[in-house]
Structure 1
Amino acid sequence: MKALIRADASVDIGMGHRVRCQALAHAFIQLGWECRFIVDRRYQAFAATDDYLIDQEEECIALAQNADLVILDHYGYRADDITALHQAQPNLLVLDDMNDRGDFSAKWVLNPLHEVYSSQVENPLIGSQYALLRPEFLARSTQFNHASNQLLITLGGTDPLALTLPILQALKTRGFLMTEIQVLLGASAKNADAVKRFCQHHTIALAQGLSDVTPLMGQAKMAISAAGGTLFELACCGVPTIFAQVADNQTRSLQQHLPLGWCDSVRFDTLSEHERLSQVEALVEKVMAKWRDDTWQETARHTALSLVDSLGAERVARRVTLSM
């Protein structure tokens, strides 16, 4: 059977859509499916060699009609667009975060948050048990050493607001030990060269473009992270985290996870560049307070581990395959 995945990635869009769809594709491939991405030609620098490249969304509908399943992870599709795609391909799985596009029809909707969809969605797959984590997280239980004194800083695949360097500078000003920091940069992170120079000068551990991030997450005492799909990865690894919200679509996940007590957050996406620098100080203040709070860290770790396991993609692929 053939599945097509409509998702883009770029410096501005970020890598989150592509990463979670790749996790889902892996689970489908394990069940014998053939999976290929459909990518806007403008973003072909982030595409694979066998992806379909399109210039107009109408081309996606044409391709969809010749597939057994279409997976849509694209905020550019509003309710009417999704319904039109569903009419062309009855086996449509929509990945969603915000539930803010109005009522649309689909055979399945996947949202790792607790949201309510209209009756036009035949099979809602809702809740953190459906969080899409990469295959390497399946071995998570054998990799953790949270006794280490390490702060992981990871601002997503592209660090779209270039926050890594000002966060490092603010931590240094506050006297945080540079040798207790591990920086993780995406392969296409903004301002990467300046971050690398700062890390080299101050003996800060740095890794970039890792295919397997679980060893770094597994040894982190705490993290500073963007609040996209990495939120679920850090929860799966039991890492108490201060999240930097860098995009509007991260709002709902933070609204649902902050009251659980395992994380905190500071918002950046609605601010000017000048205002962001001031907000970095607020984020670092939270980090400094939580870093010394062993009781909070222990409680937060247990809470996080209870929320997300590593089997979400497998659950989705099996549910969809069995209902075909």
Structure 2
Amino acid sequence: MIYFRADANETLASGHIMRCITIALEFVQEGNAVTFLIADANPRVLLERYKLPYIILNTDWNNLEGELEVLVPILKNPEDILIIDSYLVTENYMNTVYTKVKTVYIEDQMQKKYSTHILINYNLYYFIFDYPGKYQDSGTRLFLGAQYAPLRSEFSEHKAYEVRKKARDILVMCGGGDEKGFLKSFLSEISDIGTLHFHIVIGAYNKDKKELKKRYEGRDNIYMYENISNINEVMRMCDIAVSAAGNTLYELCAVGTPTIFFTYSYNQKYDYIGFTENDIMLYAGNIDDGKERIIKNITRYVTSLIDNREKRFKMSNKMTYLIDGLGAKRIVKNILEDEKNVDNTSA
């Protein structure tokens, strides 16, 4: 069994569990059984959408250390694999599960050196943490860099992206939660720009979704999407994307939609390093510095790109060069090959 330990709610949003879902679907495609271990019922809406089995631990999502009493009895087969995607792990937590099953830890930044059989950091900025040096002689296998960005299979289709002469359709995304109310503030500021069409993706845990739908549904230039299954097609039909940082930026790269992004939380603070290098994307700032400032920057960037096809064309080409959409396949293939090598060694 391949277990995934991840959560989602209004605070965490859906980034962690969505990238685990992507990897899990690839394991299923390869004929492997998977099960998600979740603290509470919040992630059910996402897991059931993809028909993935789960066990609710009935624990506090904010206290992984406290769930060990419930978790350890589940990990009774040393041949099982546990893939962990959480910022809330502790040294004791990782040491404990490391002795029970094969562990894979997905992280975005080096907080500590943890006990794990495999470590994954697919972010463009991974190199600033010197993983090879810190994990030298540890036995931990390292899967590093954008080649391991876990994107759903539709992002490996490599359809041509059309850069139109004049931009009209703007995609706006803010992750699964948006607890700081970016979409609400953004639409209040820009919704009256009648020459542009805004495609708004509302996350599963967005607390403002009822209000947003009530206020803007039916507007000629605003389209709202919820529980969307074809996000790659919406990305492809839009001329410019505005997005919070996170895994979505890698999806946008795979499609080639010129992107303006902003950072939403402390763990995204390094994203600007990779995505702004060589003008791959445009960075509007951190939301904690003020939504008004970010929205002003976004508006300025959008305005500058509307008639600048050459700029958008260059951005799109740089983005698609970065990502081929095969990261989830590489992760699964390497984990399974690693298992095969262990079995052959044991034999």
Q: What is the TM-score with the length of structure 2 in the denominator?
A: 0.84
Cα deviation code 1:113-164 (max 9, x no counterpart): 233322235210001110011222233426x444373111111122232211
SS of 2:288's partner is coil
1:309 matched to 2:318: no
Question: Where do 4+ consecutive residues of structure 1 move more than 6 Å?
Answer: none
Say whether the 8 Å CA contact 1:105–1:121 is kept in structure 2. Answer: no
Distance 2:209 2:258 in 1: 25
* Map of 1:192 onto structure 2: 209
Distance 1:162 1:308 in 2: 30
Distance 1:9 1:232 in 2: 20
Distance 2:147 2:258 in 1: 19
Say whether the 8 Å CA contact 1:7–1:17 is kept in structure 2. Answer: yes
Say whether the 8 Å CA contact 1:140–1:218 is kept in structure 2. Answer: no
- Aligned 1:162-311 pairs, distance under 5 A: 162-172=181-191, 175=193, 177-178=195-196, 180-200=197-217, 202-203=219-220, 204-271=222-289, 275-311=290-326
Q: 1:44 to 1:149 in 2, by over 3 A?
A: closer
The amino acid of 1:52's aligned partner reads I
Distance 2:275 2:139 in 1: 25
Distance 1:249 1:8 in 2: 16
Q: How many residues align?
A: 315
SS of 1:70's partner is strand
Distance 1:296 1:44 in 2: 39
Per-residue deviation, 1:176: 5.6
* Map of 2:344 onto structure 1: none
The amino acid of 2:247's aligned partner reads G
Distance 1:18 1:128 in 2: 19
Say whether the 8 Å CA contact 1:109–1:124 is kept in structure 2. Answer: yes
* Map of 1:38 onto structure 2: 37
SS of 2:10's partner is coil
The amino acid of 2:109's aligned partner reads M
Q: 1:165 to 1:52 in 2, by over 3 A?
A: same
Distance 2:2 2:152 in 1: 18
1:153 matched to 2:172: yes
Q: 1:26 to 1:48 in 2, by over 3 A?
A: closer
5+ residue gaps, structure 1? none
Per-residue deviation, 1:267: 3.2
5+ residue gaps, structure 2? 60-65, 340-347
Does 77-86 or 10-19 show the bigger shift? 77-86
Identity in percent: 21
* Map of 1:8 onto structure 2: 7
- Aligned 1:62-81 pairs, distance under 5 A: 62-66=73-77, 68-81=80-93
* Map of 2:18 onto structure 1: 19
Q: What is the TM-score with the length of structure 1 in the denominator?
A: 0.89
Q: 1:303 to 1:43 in 2, by over 3 A?
A: same
Does 218-227 or 276-285 show the bigger shift? 276-285
